């Protein structure tokens, strides 16, 4: 961070808000993007979460909208001028909160709409008139069709976390929304990576964009210490206990690959005495916001989450991130560990690798262009060392050669469930001492997976089939039906 906000000649109300936030100097994305957005040019920005990109687009956008400030109470004087689209409810909420803080000394109005909440209060806000509308695509379409949101005066559109919006399957919704907007506008697209799909999206909807890359896509922050520990599936919780204890870590994110795993792991850790909460797509909006608040306030120490649920969450200073499951998609590794080591603080990213994860680890190696050394964990309790190393040995045997890259073959051929059962049995025999005495007695673990009772009663895909488009939609669209959860081994079944 080098230059100061005072170099920007921001209007006084915006400068005051920034000063109040305690920002002293601009982050690299702000330094590069703000002057460009102030000129009204389209931008294609590659920036990791936590780089300050919300301020990078919203401050110049608000500055350009100041000419429309109006103290009139008439909704007609407050049409939507800027639209910010995000993939998840939490992210939309977070960005809207930031924008409201930056705009607090202006007369510009902002609001947020996302699914999982009653449409009525959102409708009331929209009807009053807002200049800046932050939204997730599904719910925005509901409001457009209910004629609550009129977008024909939009001058700016921001597609934030665009790669994730495409991953979730929002492309058709985005295309529809963009078709309602005036052709003459500024479009800003932010994405963690510039995949071919993102480039295609940009070439369809952006005009001569200025490309801004603050960190090379796929680059991991140098402030994050990355450790890869071998751990059989049955050892993983024990590994978490050990790392937390030996490093004196108070709070951490723990990433898992499925909602099922998320709920169960949170439950297990909680029962083992760690203050834990879970964040995944089957939680009701209210539960998710509460989980976040509990983590932010320090009421809980561990937040177990899935990739979609956690993407872009602005929780600062998380000292550590655990990958309980190696992510199916190597890019998610970069996103996950981006939760720690933010804004120059140091962070720890621990990935727990079982014998069947060789191919996934090789993908990460390729993406981050760093050799991954798999280590054994030194457990404090008496444990037969050779057994603890099993996962590591299996991984090495699975094909590490010379420099450990590229030559790693595919993971062992046994289906995941079968492997898990096998490893599970072996693990139980090897580490009998660790299992909490009550572990298998909780009926929760005997039950098949069920979505939280508080979550929407009708699954999103059913609601989408049966309800007319204008009714309340479930905002986040799962790619597949719940049955997919039970085939966690296949990368294509990744769920939010």
DSSP 3-state helix, strand, coil percentages of the chain (rounded to 5)?
45, 15, 40
In the complex with ligand AMP, the residue whose CB is nearer, 27 or 191, is 27
In the complex with ligand AMP, the residue whose CB is nearer, 86 or 495, is 86
By CB under 6 A, the residues from 52 to 71 that bind ligand AMP are 52-55
Task: Please calculate the CA angle 92-162-331 and round it to the nearest 5 degrees.
Answer: 110
First to last CA, the chain: 34
The window from 21-29, 186-194, 224-232, 247-255 that contacts ligand AMP (CB under 6 A) reads 21-29
Binding letters toward ligand AMP, positions 337-376, x by CB under 6 A: ------x---------------------------------
Smallest distance, Å, CB 404 to ligand AMP?
Answer: 33
Smallest distance, Å, CB 4 to ligand AMP?
Answer: 10
Question: Is residue 110 close enough to count as binding ligand AMP by CB under 6 A?
Answer: no
In the complex with ligand AMP, the residue whose CB is nearer, 103 or 119, is 103
SS3 65: helix
- How many angstroms separate the CA atoms of 474 and 471, rounded? 10
Contact 229, 350 (CB under 8 A): yes
The window from 46-54, 263-271, 421-429, 444-452 that contacts ligand AMP (CB under 6 A) reads 46-54
By CB under 6 A, the residues from 467 to 496 that bind ligand AMP are none
Smallest distance, Å, CB 334 to ligand AMP?
Answer: 14
Query: Locate tokens 């919203």: which residue?
Result: 58
- How many angstroms separate the CA atoms of 214 and 45, rounded? 8
Beta-carbon contacts of residue 477 (< 8 Å; ≥ 6 apart): 138, 168, 169, 170, 460, 461, 464
Smallest distance, Å, CB 340 to ligand AMP?
Answer: 13
In the complex with ligand AMP, the residue whose CB is nearer, 48 or 323, is 48
Binding letters toward ligand AMP, positions 282-321, x by CB under 6 A: --------------------------------x-x-----
The separation between CA 382 and the C-alpha centre of its own chain, rounded to angstroms, equals 38
Smallest distance, Å, CB 1 to ligand AMP?
Answer: 7
Smallest distance, Å, CB 399 to ligand AMP?
Answer: 38
In the complex with ligand AMP, the residue whose CB is nearer, 48 or 351, is 48
In the complex with ligand AMP, the residue whose CB is nearer, 29 or 263, is 29
> Which of 79, 17, 12, 80 minimizes the C-alpha distance to 54?
17
Rounded to the nearest 5°, which phi and psi values hold at 90?
A: -60, -45
The window from 49-57, 232-240, 270-278, 437-445 that contacts ligand AMP (CB under 6 A) reads 49-57
Size of the site for ligand AMP (CB under 6 A): 14
Q: What is the DSSP letter of 439?
A: G
Rounded to the nearest 5°, which phi and psi values hold at 58?
A: -80, -35
The separation between CA 456 and the C-alpha centre of its own chain, rounded to angstroms, equals 21
- How many angstroms separate the CA atoms of 24 and 44, rounded? 26
In the complex with ligand AMP, the residue whose CB is nearer, 49 or 475, is 49
Q: What is the DSSP letter of 438?
A: T
Binding letters toward ligand AMP, positions 224-263, x by CB under 6 A: ----------------------------------------
Smallest distance, Å, CB 289 to ligand AMP?
Answer: 17
Question: Is residue 50 close enough to count as binding ligand AMP by CB under 6 A?
Answer: yes
How are beta strands 252-255 and 276-279 bridged, if at all?
unpaired
Beta-carbon contacts of residue 463 (< 8 Å; ≥ 6 apart): 456, 471, 472, 473, 474
Question: Is residue 27 close enough to count as binding ligand AMP by CB under 6 A?
Answer: yes
The structure tokens listed for 75 are: 């909704």
In the complex with ligand AMP, the residue whose CB is nearer, 264 or 342, is 342
SS3 1: coil
Which residues would be at the binding site for ligand AMP (CB under 6 A)?
23, 26-27, 30, 49-55, 314, 316, 343
């Amino acid at each position: 961070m080098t230059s100061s906000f005072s170099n920007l000649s921001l209007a006084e109300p915006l400068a005051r808000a920034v000063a109040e936030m305690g920002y002293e100097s601009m982050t690299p994305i702000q330094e590069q993007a703000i002057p460009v957005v102030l000129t009204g040019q389209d931008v294609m920005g590659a920036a990791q979460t936590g780089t300050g990109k919300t301020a990078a687009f919203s401050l110049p956008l608000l500055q350009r909208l100041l000419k429309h400030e109006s103290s009139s109470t008439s909704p007609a004087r407050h049409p939507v001028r800027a639209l910010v689209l995000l993939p998840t409810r939490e992210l939309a909420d977070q960005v809207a909160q930031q924008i409201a803080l930056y705009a607090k000394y202006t007369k510009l109005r902002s609001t947020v709409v996302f699914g999982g909440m009653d449409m009525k209060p959102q409708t009331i806000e929209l009807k009053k008139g807002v200049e800046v509308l932050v939204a997730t695509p599904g719910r925005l379409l509901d409001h457009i069709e209910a004629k609550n949101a009129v977008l024909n005066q939009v001058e700016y559109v921001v597609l934030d976390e665009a790669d994730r919006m495409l991953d979730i399957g929002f492309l058709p919704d985005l295309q529809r929304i963009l078709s309602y907007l005036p052709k003459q506008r500024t479009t800003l697209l932010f994405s963690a990576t510039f995949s071919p799909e993102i480039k295609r999206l940009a070439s369809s909807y952006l005009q001569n964009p200025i490309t801004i890359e603050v960190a090379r896509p796929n680059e991991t922050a140098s402030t994050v210490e990355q450790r890869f520990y071998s751990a059989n599936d049955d050892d993983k919780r024990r590994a978490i206990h050990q790392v937390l204890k030996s490093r004196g870590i108070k709070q951490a994110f723990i990433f898992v690959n499925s909602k099922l795993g998320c709920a169960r792991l949170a439950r297990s850790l909680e029962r083992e005495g760690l203050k834990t909460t879970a964040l995944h797509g089957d939680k009701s909006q209210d539960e998710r916001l509460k989980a976040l608040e509990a983590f932010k306030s320090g009421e809980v120490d561990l937040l177990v989450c899935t990739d979609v649920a956690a993407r872009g969450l602005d929780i600062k200073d998380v000292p550590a991130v655990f990958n309980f499951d190696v992510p199916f998609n190597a890019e998610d590794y970069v996103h996950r560990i981006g939760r720690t080591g933010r804004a120059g603080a140091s962070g720890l990213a621990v990935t727990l690798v079982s014998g069947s994860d060789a191919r996934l680890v090789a993908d990460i190696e390729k993406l981050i262009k760093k050799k991954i050394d798999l280590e054994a964990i030194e457990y404090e309790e008496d444990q037969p060392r050779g057994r603890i190393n099993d996962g590591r040995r299996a991984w090495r045997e699975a094909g590490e050669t010379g420099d450990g890259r590229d030559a790693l073959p595919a993971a062992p051929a046994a289906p995941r469930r079968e492997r898990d059962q096998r490893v599970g049995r072996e693990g139980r025999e090897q580490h009998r001492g660790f299992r909490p005495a009550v572990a298998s007695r909780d009926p929760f673990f005997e039950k098949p997976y069920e979505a939280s009772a508080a979550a929407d009663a009708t699954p999103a895909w059913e609601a989408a089939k049966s309800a007319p488009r204008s009714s309340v939609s479930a905002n986040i669209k799962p790619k597949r039906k719940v049955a997919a959860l039970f085939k966690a081994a296949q990368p294509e079944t990744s769920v939010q």
